[in-house]
Amino acid sequence: MRPYTYAAARSVGEALERAGDGSAYLAGGTTLVDLMKLEVVSPAHVVDITAVPLRGIRRGPRGLFIGAMERMADVAGHHLVAEPYPVVAEALRQSASPQIRNMATIGGNLLQRTRCGYFRDPATPCNRREPGSGCPAVDGHNRSHAILGTSDACVATHPSDLAVALTALDARLSLRGAGGERTLRLADFYRLPGGTPHLENELRPGELITGVTVPALPWARRSTYVKVRDRRSYEFALCSAAVAVHVKGGVIREARVAAGGVGTRPWRLPAVEEALRGRPMRTETFEAAVAHAADGARPLARNAFKPALLRRTIVRALVHLAG
């Protein structure tokens, strides 16, 4: 860990003021402290925002607002989340460990960095960490890597479960920076790696995530998050599916489907949603609808199973909602 100066901020304004060239915001610390120890990131200044009151979980006219500094555990257990949006609560509860969920914030969760082993090891090249240095994952150990949205420069998955659920629900981010406040669809927030995988998102220098708004979607009560992994807990997704359906008279009126563990960002699947619409809520429908879920996927040497796993994970989630 390189030396840095440390300062705590008590308000958003103070945080923005204290942030500077090469500084990093410290919230839950579960990403930043880890990556500083690995020397994957080495900020010159750390601005601790744990005391910044970006809190609150409340219902408003545009949906559910969650303050960026709310902790994962508190959001997962909140009745305004768990009842109307089971998919969000389930995604959170299946994330990391209870201790990490007690620490990590919603804003930090959405900004967590990829778990790609090459990214996390400064002794290896990585275009995301060090632009232009190369990507050993393309020909290396890539079992956990992405099949969708990849480029020759980067095949790393986005690790957040929450982001997958929020992408399915079309959540919006509230951001605040020196230039004031703005909002952005989460779907527009994450960038595809392309030739510039080090530019991960649309956050501007100095900008803070202040909160997330999940649009009101009454039928999202019928939603779920299925996470497939190599052990039953405390583990990132091999593949996951966030699914919500609006069923009337046995027919699917609306559907939301997003996947994790397969994309370089949380992966919404509008074609699957479209294929579900107007069809009866049953297994045959699901199996037909996912047929093209992995279209355009570029499987790698060690993750050739992921297109099939993606299709089956979505079916399993839909079967749960049908049951």
Residues 281-320 that bind another protein (CB under 8 A): 305, 308-309, 312-313, 315-316, 319
Of 88, 168, 238, 294, the one binding another protein by CB under 8 A: 238
Binding mask 156-195 for another protein (x = CB under 8 A): ----------------------x-----------------
In the chain, the amino acid numbered 176 is R
Of 2, 60, 218, 284, the one binding another protein by CB under 8 A: 2
CA distance 172 to 166: 8
CA distance 9 to 42: 20
CA distance 195 to 176: 28
Q: Could you tell me which residues come within 8 angstroms of residue 186 by beta carbon, excluding any fewer than 6 positions away?
A: 110, 163, 166, 167, 170, 171, 172, 173, 212, 266
Query: Could you give the strand order of the β-sheet that contains 57-60, starting from the edge strand earlier in sequence?
Result: 57-60, 63-67, 208-214, 172-177, 180-185
Total number of residues that touch another protein (CB under 8 A): 88
251 binds another protein (CB under 8 A): no
* CB 253, min distance to another protein, A: 24
* CB 3, min distance to another protein, A: 5
Terminal C-alpha separation, the chain:
50
Q: Are 135 and 118 in contact (CB under 8 A)?
A: yes
* CB 106, min distance to another protein, A: 14
- 276: helix, coil or strand? helix
Nearest to another protein of 44, 274 (CB atom): 44
- At which residue do the structure tokens 């050739």 appear? 304
CA distance 298 to 262: 10
Pick the stretch among 14-22, 165-173, 213-221, 246-254 that binds another protein (CB under 8 A). Answer: 14-22
* CB 273, min distance to another protein, A: 19
Binding mask 79-118 for another protein (x = CB under 8 A): -----------------xxxxx-xx-------x---x-x-
280 binds another protein (CB under 8 A): no
Pick the stretch among 23-31, 78-86, 210-218, 266-274 that binds another protein (CB under 8 A). Answer: 23-31
* CB 313, min distance to another protein, A: 6
In the chain, the amino acid numbered 93 is R
Helices 161-168 and 86-93: angle between axes, nearest 10 degrees: 170
Q: Which of residues 188-227 bind another protein (CB under 8 A)?
A: 198-201, 203-208, 226
Q: Which of residues 119-148 bind another protein (CB under 8 A)?
A: 123-124, 128-130, 136, 139-141, 143
- At which residue do the structure tokens 């579900």 appear? 276
Of 59, 234, 278, 301, the one binding another protein by CB under 8 A: 234
45 binds another protein (CB under 8 A): yes
- 25: helix, coil or strand? strand
